[in-house]
Amino acid sequence: MITAEYCSSLFLSTIELYHTSDDINTPCPVSNSSSIHDILIRKSWIDTIQWHLEDIIRRPGLDANKFIETKKRIDTSNQERTDLVEKIDDWFMEQFVDVILIEHPRLNTETPAWTIDRLSILMLKIFHMREQTQRLDATAEHLALCGLKYDILLSQKLDLSQSINSFISELFEGRAQMKLYKQMKMYNDPSTNPQLYLK
């Protein structure tokens, strides 16, 4: 069974691997396989690169062409991220196919994959906030404030991990029900975005 601890450890090692080069053009280290291990790594890799793209696009004086290029890349990254979240949910659905539900099982507002998506982003926040607490060029006030934020993020990780583990356990026990609602992003679809079909 997938646990929050397994995911967070995998996410952290992926984030650390990315930062050995710290280059947004570094290719993902795993192939496009269907194993849940590789899918989770690819998810974290996309999140990590997008984190840095979001930093870049906020750079003062960024060249207009570079801004447009970066924004398009973020949009593409968002779609890839959504696709991978749905792959993770597809994997979970396969795990629960033989589970017998109790009468009136609980229905969660998020699927397992979207809760794991939140954990992936949280691990990025933790990694980068820890970096802020170790800056040699920052003021004591900055270091102290980031230290407080870092502690809050660690507490949030504990709470989120417990929630994820409980939810997955309930799904395996049939006490919770999983439903998939595929993301229907209209702006990426040439048939539903008026700016694309009203040419």
pTM of the model: 0.92
Contact indicator for 3, 168 with CB cutoff of 8 Å: yes
Q: Where are the alpha helices (DSSP H) in the chain?
A: 4-18, 36-57, 64-95, 112-133, 140-173, 194-197
Query: Is pLDDT at 148 greater than 70 in this prediction?
Result: yes
176 bridge partner residues: 106
pLDDT for the residue 199: 67
The tens digit of pLDDT for each residue in 83-142 reads 999 999 999 999 999 999 999 999 998 999 999 999 999 999 999 999 999 999 999 999
Query: Is pLDDT at 189 greater than 70 in this prediction?
Result: yes
Contact indicator for 133, 150 with CB cutoff of 8 Å: yes
The tens digit of pLDDT for each residue in 9-52 reads 999 999 999 999 999 999 999 988 889 999 999 999 999 999 99
Q: How is residue 189 written in tokens?
A: 């679809």
pLDDT for the residue 192: 82
Mean pLDDT of 69-86: 96
Q: What is the rounded distance in angstroms from the CA atom of residue 153 to the CA atom of residue 123?
A: 9
